Amino acid sequence: MLNSVELTARELGMMKLMVDFFAEKPELTAKIESYTTAHYALLTTYSENFGIPIEDSLKVFEELQRKLTEAEYVHVKAPEPIKKLLPLTREELNMLRVLVDYFSESPKMAPAGSFLSKKEDALAEAYLWFYGSNEGNGEVARETLKNLVEKLQTAVFIKVDTLAPVAVAPNPYEAALKQLDLAAEKLKLDPGIHEILKRPMRTLIVNIPVVMDDGSIQVFTGYRVQYNDALGPTKGGIRYHPDLSLDEVTALAAWMTWKTAVTGLPLGGGKGGIRCNPKEMSKAELERLTRGYVRAIAKFIGPFTDVPAPDVYTTAEMMAWIMDEYSEIIGYPVFGVVTGKPINVGGSRGRSEATSRGLMYTVIEAAKHLGINLKGATVAVQGYGNVGYHAARLLHEVGCKIIAVSDSKGGACNPEGLDPEKVLAHKDKTGSVVDYPGSTFITNEQLLELECDILVPAALENQITKANADKIKAKIVAEGANGPVTPDADEILFKKGIFVIPDILANSGGVIVSYFEQVQNQMNYYWTEEEVRNKLKETITKAFHDVLNMSKQHNVNMRTAAYMLAVKRVADALLARKGTAFSLESPLTPR
């Protein structure tokens, strides 16, 4: 399978430095000839030009070399007025390999000989030596080098197609399997059912051709993973990201399976996405890509099979395109094929604040359980985006005192309390919560370690780790973000008596209201915001107590309890539907 990888800005910079050396009038590498090896010359010049240590230059070179060694095809985007992303010819790609090898510590593609004098000749010679006579004579090699240099000197973007698998470290699917295994062990899960739950039920990989604004064609790889539908149609978002991998989508689909199950929704779990860089694409390109993705997966999605939703870098507007394209294929409006739509085309009231409202309801229950009075209880919120802002606003509404909030630039702290609406207005005006009038600056690390009753991590994963778990002083940690606490930190918090409301429960308000959107679409009858809020409260409060009871019954923390409950519900549904066919413990199963 061909995967597309972009060169980073640093790698592109280094590439340009290499070709500059062969340009007619080198600007960046004028001094390079004073060095004895091309490798050292490149690393030193790169470090000086970009102001980074030489060890980092070496890392950039090694990563660039790896990508180009593994490349099947390389595409180069020229600047205006051409601006197209076009492939290098096979000869140019071979020459590129020779060029990069030439700058390596011990070149393998060049015969022994000089490098610094007559450098074009050295490269042409190496090219002919390595690739043999099929590649023409020295003249052709020099012409190829000249063309390559011209293309790379002005390149604004380089994409590499490779057959090498896309690897992510740490692999999230591995983490998802570990969580399943732990729950299975505690539940003494039937081994046959456990075997089924380790893998997704169905995985789609599609390649979507898109005509780009510049007239070139790019083919993007999209995924849709339907992990398990024992409890109902699969449900889960669509993520657009340049580093997306199938293992990541699979893990996210597994987590959706547990999230819908723990909240008691009649839904399974799925997830999808496209490997693309939405920040580099125009709106028209994104629309063509999204519609192409729908056409590619249309046979496998639908209100009764699999219902996508927004996720990282996908928006309500895109959900409307998905609904429209699918409806064009089916022949009539099918609002229920996707959720997270704008309200005027079948979206639900209350969706934008749903995740945070759900989180607030779980905090209310946790506070009751722990005997904490929410009137005046102190709250710190990390991340002030959709989830963080609404969480601060809603907890403030029920009487909590918001003593600190933060975003990627840092935090604002005031032990006397912050007004969430005014902080938002300040952020809208200045781009950050930092320097909010009357507050003092606080780092994200300090915010997590504040003395407070409730801590809401609502930004990124892996924020509370083995390194800082011991310093957390909150009584309740409500996970607005996905995966903000690492498993080893979880253990530490549990031992310290900190009550963690796990992500699959605390931030499940979003998927609950998405489910309500599906229901309203199917009825073609829409609820008021109050009805949505009441139903959300009822659903998530019940889920909270189901998990709490499981945790008391098995003396495990809330996260393990949530996984146990979810896995048990999916397993029971599988057994109920399939009879004993897949149970290794059934006396009816042949041995």
Report, as residue numbers or ranges, the catalytic residues.
Answer: 271
Between 74 and 481, whose beta carbon lies closer to ligand NAD? 481
Q: Nearest distance from residue 397's CB to ligand NAD, in Å?
A: 18
Site track for ligand NAD across 404-423, x = CB under 6 A = --xxx---------------
Contact 450, 470 (CB under 8 A): no
Residue with the two structure tokens 């994963």 = 461
Q: Cα(473)–Cα(296) distance, rounded to whole angstroms? A: 49
| Residue list 489-528, contact with ligand NAD (CB under 6 A) | 507, 510
Q: Binding to ligand NAD by residue 444, rule CB under 6 A?
A: yes
Q: Binding to ligand NAD by residue 480, rule CB under 6 A?
A: yes
Q: Nearest distance from residue 8's CB to ligand NAD, in Å?
A: 19
Between 42 and 392, whose beta carbon lies closer to ligand NAD? 392
Q: Cα(506)–Cα(482) distance, rounded to whole angstroms? A: 10
CB within 8 A of 428, min separation 6: which ones?
none
Between 185 and 421, whose beta carbon lies closer to ligand NAD? 421
Between 182 and 460, whose beta carbon lies closer to ligand NAD? 460
CB within 8 A of 347, min separation 6: which ones?
316, 319, 339, 340, 341, 517
Q: Fill in the amino acid letter for 204.
A: L
Site track for ligand NAD across 356-395, x = CB under 6 A = --------------------------xxxxxxx-------
Q: Nearest distance from residue 443's CB to ligand NAD, in Å?
A: 9
Q: Nearest distance from residue 380's CB to ligand NAD, in Å?
A: 12
Task: Pick the closest to residue 22 from 159, 142, 125, 158 (CA basis).
Answer: 142
Q: For ligand NAD, which residue of 424, 481, 561, 573 counts as binding (CB under 6 A)?
A: 481
**Alpha-carbon radius of gyration of the chain:** 28
Strand order in the sheet with 410-413: 440-442, 410-413, 401-407, 378-382, 454-457, 476-478, 499-501
Size of the site for ligand NAD (CB under 6 A): 20
Q: Cα(38)–Cα(116) distance, rounded to whole angstroms? A: 8
Q: Binding to ligand NAD by residue 316, rule CB under 6 A?
A: no
Rounded to 5°, angle at Cα 104 from 101 and 110: 45
| Residue list 200-219, contact with ligand NAD (CB under 6 A) | none
Between 221 and 339, whose beta carbon lies closer to ligand NAD? 339
* Alpha helices per DSSP H over 263-373: 283-297, 316-330, 354-370
Between 274 and 574, whose beta carbon lies closer to ligand NAD? 274
Q: Nearest distance from residue 408's CB to ligand NAD, in Å?
A: 4
Q: Nearest distance from residue 480's CB to ligand NAD, in Å?
A: 5
Helices 529-554 and 509-523: crossing angle in degrees, nearest 10, is 130
Residue numbers at the binding site for ligand NAD (CB under 6 A)? 355, 382-388, 406-408, 444, 458-460, 480-482, 507, 510
